[in-house]
C-alpha cells in the first residue's frame, strides 16, 4: 500500500552506513528512469496522486502542493536515516515524472520492507510498471539488502493485484479491514517477494520481464 504521510514529521534514529542513504542511485530501464524525487517534481506528482483512479486505492496523499513539498523534504530525511526510498518514474525522453515507487522499512535494519507504487492512469498498460518494478525490486534486494518485500493492495484493486501477481509476488492472504479510506474499511491482499526466490528466478532466466 502506498502511504504518503499528510503531515510529515522528522524522527531520530541511529543511521547505518550504507551509500544509498546519501543519495539514491539513478536506475535506468528500457522505458523509464527512476531517480530520487525532487522538490521540482512536486506539482507533477501531486497531480498524479490526486487522479481519482489513483487516489481511490492509496492512502490519502498530501492535500496541497505545499504539503507535497513537505512530503519530499520528509522523503529526503527518511532516506538519509536509512529507512525509506522514494523514486520518481520518468519516461524515457522526458524529464517529468509520471509516478512514484516507494520502499519503507518494516523493521529496524530494513531486512523486511513494504513497497507501494502509483502511475498516472494515461501511462497504465504501457509496460512502465514492469520496467520500473524490476528496477525497484533489484534495488531493494541488491542495494538495500532486504530479504522480504511486502505489498498490500486493496482486494478491490484488480489492476494493482494483477500487476503484483504478474511480477511473481506470492499472495499470502487477506488482511481484513486493514485499509481505512473515505470512511470505509477495506480488505487488503498481502503479497511478498523474497530475495532468494527473486535471484534464483533472475539467474535461471525466468524472472518476469
Ligand X SMILES: CC(C)(COP(=O)(O)OP(=O)(O)OC[C@H]1O[C@@H](n2cnc3c(N)ncnc32)[C@H](O)[C@@H]1OP(=O)(O)O)[C@@H](O)C(=O)NCCC(=O)NCCS
Range in contact with ligand X (rule: CB under 6 A) among 9-17, 33-41, 51-59, 191-199: 51-59
59 DSSP 8-state letter: P
Closest CA to 86 of 115, 51, 128: 115
Nearest distance, CB of residue 86 and ligand X, angstroms: 13
Cβ-proximal residue to ligand X, closest one? 162
Helix H segments across the chain?
42-50, 52-55, 65-80, 128-138, 158-167, 195-203
24 DSSP 8-state letter: P
84 near ligand X (CB under 6 A)? no
Q: How many helices (H) and strands (E) does the chain have?
A: 6, 8
- Nearer CB in complex with ligand X: 21/133: 133
Nearest distance, CB of residue 151 and ligand X, angstroms: 6
- By CB under 6 A, name the one of 45, 85, 98, 118 that touches ligand X: 118
- By CB under 6 A, name the one of 44, 98, 100, 130 that touches ligand X: 130
Q: Containing H/E element for 154?
A: strand 148-154
> Which positions ≥6 away from 105 have C-beta within 8 Å?
82, 83, 84, 112, 113
Nearest distance, CB of residue 19 and ligand X, angstroms: 27
- Nearer CB in complex with ligand X: 2/195: 2
54 near ligand X (CB under 6 A)? yes
2 near ligand X (CB under 6 A)? yes
Beta strand pairing status for 148-154 and 112-119? parallel
Residues that bind ligand X (CB under 6 A): 1-2, 54, 57-58, 116-119, 124-125, 128-130, 153, 157-160, 162-163, 166
Amino acid at each position: 500500500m502506498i502511504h504518503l504521510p499528510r503531515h510529515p514529521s522528522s524522527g531520530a534514529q541511529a543511521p547505518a552506513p550504507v551509500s544509498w542513504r546519501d543519495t539514491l542511485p539513478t536506475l535506468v530501464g528500457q522505458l523509464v528512469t527512476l531517480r530520487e524525487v525532487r522538490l521540482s517534481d512536486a506539482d507533477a506528482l501531486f497531480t498524479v496522486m490526486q487522479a481519482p483512479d489513483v487516489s481511490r486505492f492509496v492512502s490519502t496523499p498530501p492535500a496541497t502542493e505545499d504539503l507535497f513539498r513537505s512530503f519530499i523534504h520528509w522523503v529526503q530525511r527518511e532516506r538519509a536515516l536509512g529507512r525509506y526510498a522514494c523514486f520518481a518514474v520518468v519516461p524515457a525522453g522526458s524529464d517529468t515524472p509520471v509516478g512514484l515507487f516507494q520502499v519503507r522499512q518494516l523493521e529496524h535494519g530494513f531486512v523486511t520492507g513494504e513497497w507501494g507504487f502509483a502511475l498516472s492512469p494515461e501511462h497504465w498498460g504501457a509496460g512502465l510498471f514492469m520496467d520500473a518494478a524490476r528496477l525497484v525490486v533489484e534495488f531493494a534486494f541488491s542495494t538495500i539488502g532486504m530479504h522480504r518485500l511486502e505489498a498490500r493492495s486493496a482486494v478491490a484493486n484488480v489492476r494493482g493485484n494483477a500487476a503484483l501477481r504478474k511480477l511473481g509476488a506470492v499472495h499470502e492472504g487477506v488482511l481484513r479491514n486493514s485499509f481505512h479510506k473515505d470512511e470505509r474499511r477495506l480488505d487488503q491482499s498481502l503479497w511478498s517477494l523474497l530475495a532468494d526466490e527473486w535471484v534464483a528466478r533472475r539467474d535461471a532466466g525466468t524472472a518476469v520481464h
